[in-house]
Each structure stands twice: as structure tokens, then as C-alpha cells.
Amino acid sequence: MRKYIFLFLLVPGFFQFTACTSSSPQDTFNTAVLSCNTIHDFATEGLLRQLESPSVRMVDGDKDKVEQMKRKEVIEDKIQVVKEYHNKVKQLKETEDSKELVGASRALYDYVLPVYEKEYRELARLYDEGAGKESIASYAQGIQDKYYPEFANLFDKVTAAGKVYAKKHDINVQWDIQTSPQFK
């Protein structure tokens, strides 16, 4: 009887383990390509607009009391999301089939994360401490000038690899929707 109970517990555990170690083409695509939508506004006017007019949040759970979020909180939230997706992309198993796609996605996340952690934190600090508009605009423009060209290049590589991968695996995607940053 113990043998059957052990077997009963072992078999589902084995399938759960093997399911976690390999991803379906759709899951790989979702993680490597679609997650990049969260950083679509990197080094663009779009992210700058979010910092200029940050969201509000409820104060002490009171729906009638709201306050503007600090820019630091906006960037920290963004960093958290980027780190989560970056970790998911790093955990993707590279196969011969997915190597180009996963590599392109990893390179994109490897590129943007340090910029969020350093330059965007500094930009948020400038906003929160009430720095002059010229100082903020100059720092933001410096980020765009320095990082946007390579970001756009890496983003386009993910998109190109994603198109090939999606076609090969019959993943239905509408690519005619804006797929590369155009905010600049």
C-alpha cells in the first residue's frame, strides 16, 4: 500500500517538475516578447510624462483622500516589474529553436535595468526634491540621447526574433500594431 501512495505522490510531482523546466512556445513567446511591453516607454517622452504627472494613491485606505505618488515610488515600481520579468526571461530554457529570441530579450533587459536603477532613480530624485525644470529636462534629455538608440536597436531585435518564432510556432500575433518605440 505504501508503494502505491508513494507512486501516487511521485507521478504528479514529476510532471509538475518537468512542466516547470520547459516552456511551451507560447509561454516562451509571452515571456520573451510580450513582457517587453512593460519597458516600451524606456528613454522616451512616454516615461517622462509619467514622471511629470505621477499617479495618485489613497491615503490610509480612505477613498476620499488621495495624494500624488512620489516619483521615486513610480520608478521603484517600474524597477520591480522590470526585475520580475528580467528574472523570468533569465529562467527561460534556451533551445536551438528559442536561442535567438531568448538571447535578444535577455540583452534588452540587461541593458535597461541598470539605467532604471541609476539614471531614472536620479531623475526621480530631481523631481521629488523640486529641482528646476531646466535641470530636469537636461538630465532627461541626456538619458534619451545616451540610451534610446541602443534600446531601440535591442527592442527591434526582440521584435524581429519574435516574428520569426511566432510564425514558426503558429502563434497568432498582430504585428501591425506599433511594436517599436516611437515616442522620441
- In this structure, is the dihedral angle defined by the CA atoms of residues 22, 24, 26 and 27, taken in order, positive or negative? negative
Distances 119 to 43, 141, 159, 178 between C-alpha atoms, Å: 10, 11, 25, 26
DSSP string, 43-71: TSHHHHHHHHS--EEEETTEEEEEEEPPH
Site of grid cell 522590470: 82
Percent of the chain clearing pLDDT 70 (strictly above): 83
Instruction: Give the phi and the psi of residue 43 in degrees, each rounded to 5.
Output: 55, 35
Q: Which three cell numbers stand for residue 69?
A: 505618488
pTM of the model: 0.81
What average pLDDT is seen over the chain?
86
Mean pLDDT of 59-81: 90
Mean pLDDT of 47-69: 86
Looking at residue 182, its pLDDT comes to 52
- Contact predicate 89/33, CB 8 Å: no
C-alpha dihedral over 98, 99, 103, 105, to 10 degrees? Answer: -10
Does residue 148 carry a pLDDT above 70? yes
Q: Which element (helix H / strand E) includes 27? A: helix 25-32
Does residue 20 carry a pLDDT above 70? no
| Least confident stretch, 63-72, 90-99, 142-151 | 63-72
Looking at residue 178, its pLDDT comes to 60
Looking at residue 22, its pLDDT comes to 65
Residue 40 burial by CB count (10 A; 0-12/13-18/19+): exposed, middle or buried?
A: middle
- Contact predicate 184/44, CB 8 Å: yes
The 10s digit of each residue's pLDDT in 33-51 is 999 999 999 999 999 999 9
| Least confident stretch, 36-40, 56-60, 102-106, 118-122 | 56-60
